[in-house]
Amino acid sequence: MAALTHKYSGGFAVGTRRGIPEATVARLPIYHRVLAGLNDLGVATVSSEELANSSGVSSAKLRKDLSHLGSYGTRGVGYDVEFLVYQIARELGLTQDWPVIIVGVGNLGRALANYGGFASRGFRIVGLLDADPALIGSDVALAPGIRVRHLDELERVVEEAEPAIAVIATPALAAQDVCDRVVAAGMTSILNFAPVVLNVGDRVEVRKVDLATELQILAFHEQRRSRDTEVVVTDSKVSLTVGGAL
Amino acid sequence: MAALTHKYSGGFAVGTRRGIPEATVARLPIYHRVLAGLNDLGVATVSSEELANSSGVSSAKLRKDLSHLGSYGTRGVGYDVEFLVYQIARELGLTQDWPVIIVGVGNLGRALANYGGFASRGFRIVGLLDADPALIGSDVALAPGIRVRHLDELERVVEEAEPAIAVIATPALAAQDVCDRVVAAGMTSILNFAPVVLNVGDRVEVRKVDLATELQILAFHEQRRSRDTEVVVTDSKVSLTVGGAL
DNA sequence: CGGTGTGAATTCATTCACAGCG
DNA sequence: CGCTGTGAATGAATTCACACCG
């Protein structure tokens, strides 16, 4: 029951940095973007303190994060910007470019297809698909040469272009079907904008972006805040008698 | 140095459920959506197992999450769908509606303004702002009566409409300025789509949605996957000599 | 019996604080 | 001396496992 746990996941032999924590992976893109910016500005080195401030994290967290990639800093000095930006890019796989398809070319899908930050960081749109016949054949500004094809051709597009990532921007009702087909066609990475929980096998990685969810989280905090404030205004000593109205 | 920590944040007196963990708050919108769907289907009760499956979490996690709201289930039976959907809605503040402004009416801003899921869950767009004179006065399908106004009018719009949440969908370079003005105007909740880290005082809540970041996280896992597979194909005993090419 | 609610155990993430190196 | 890199300490989230109740 015990005896099978590895106890500590980072820190094997010499040059090893296996098993970067998920929380760290999620921050690497931020560091990368900030560093790329500094690099463009001609900044040569940066301290953990500075980089952390620009990235909105604490310097301790930043150093721990970077320590999972290796010892890329210089004590007493900081990090070499150009070197570090490259190391992070390599870790994230940004040194190659990634073919992407977008399924669902409504308002959101079109906005995504035209989004500059996409192409600028090594993501190349190789397919646009939609079920609506009215959209077939239309083209989209920032995806030159890529015309919208019918959803029926999904499997063909996957085979031809071998996309690594599928972006699902369909209505909620269509999303699971599209997902199933994308997975059946052999794809393993999905970015889902549809407001549904996708069911996939566990070798498929799904990330979701849900606008309504984000707003609801903000609303929760906003509500808590104003509830608390009301109490302070009404009375100034009572510690916690709030909210139990119902 | 010690002696000032509260030790445990949930679990005060009788009907209290203060301090719902952030991770739980982030999942409540999912449960709410799933439950609303079940309710529309006329389902009367649901077990933690079922609800968990539909929500993509484990049943233990779901039960612990719900336990932070109160004891709303019936042992041996499950949860009353209609009752629970209401309790979660109340907790999230979805029983009132929240006025929202969108700053930046480019591709993405327009897509957001037209996004149905927005309005459908109590978020009402009360302002659309942009710096581009060409867009001023145009209107947007799902925000009836709301015309795009010039960014100069931001402060006026905030004062008139008292929005609770600002959505920033401007280009990266404009985002911090807009953010500063939004905060100066007294707003405290921001949903940021611009690929920058916003600097705000700590009484302001910012959530961000970053497309490039999401793709990069997927790319990381995709890379790891294919690297691992390659190794297995090339050789079958070597434990870890990969990736150090440079 | 079946399924909730929850302490206890475990795993994961963050923060602290400082040794050690350039 | 200044700043990185990291063990150790703390804290948060998840999972386990079962008492308890309808």
pLDDT one-digit tens code per residue, A3-42: 333 333 333 333 345 699 999 999 999 999 999 999 999 9
Q: Using an 8 Å Cβ cutoff, are B50 and B81 in contact?
A: no
Vertex B200: Cα angle to B197 and B201 (nearest 5): 150
**Which amino acid, A11?**
G
Q: Are strands B165-168 and B148-150 parallel, antiparallel or unpaired?
A: unpaired
pLDDT one-digit tens code per residue, A99-120: 999 999 999 999 999 988 877 7
pLDDT over 60 (residue A236): no
Closest chain A C-alpha to B167 CA, distance in angstroms? 9
Least trusted range by pLDDT, from A237-241, B24-28, B98-102, B108-112: A237-241
Alpha-carbon A234 to chain mean position: 43
Average pLDDT over residues B228-243: 49
Which positions in chain A touch B209 (Cβ < 8 Å)? Answer: 209, 211, 214
Average pLDDT over residues B208-216: 97
Please give the pLDDT value at position A210.
95
Percent of chain A predicted with pLDDT > 70: 85
Return the HEC string of A127-176: EEEECCHHHCCCECCCCCCCEEEEHHHHHHHHHHHCCCEEEECCCHHHHH
Smallest Cβ distance to A107: which of B114, B213, B221? B114
Residue at shortest CA–C1' distance from D1: A76
B30 vs A: CB within 8 A: yes
Which comes out higher in pLDDT, residue A81 or A243?
Answer: A81
Please give the pLDDT value at position B56.
98
Please give the pLDDT value at position A81.
98
Please give the pLDDT value at position B9.
36
Closest chain A C-alpha to B217 CA, distance in angstroms? 6
Least trusted range by pLDDT, from A61-75, A159-173, B107-121: B107-121
Other Cβ atoms closer than 10 A to A199: 14
3-class secondary-structure state, position B80:
strand
Average pLDDT over residues B68-83: 98
Average pLDDT over residues B72-85: 98
Which positions in chain B touch A121 (Cβ < 8 Å)? Answer: 212, 215-216
Q: Using an 8 Å Cβ cutoff, are A157 and A185 in contact?
A: no
Average pLDDT over residues B213-225: 97
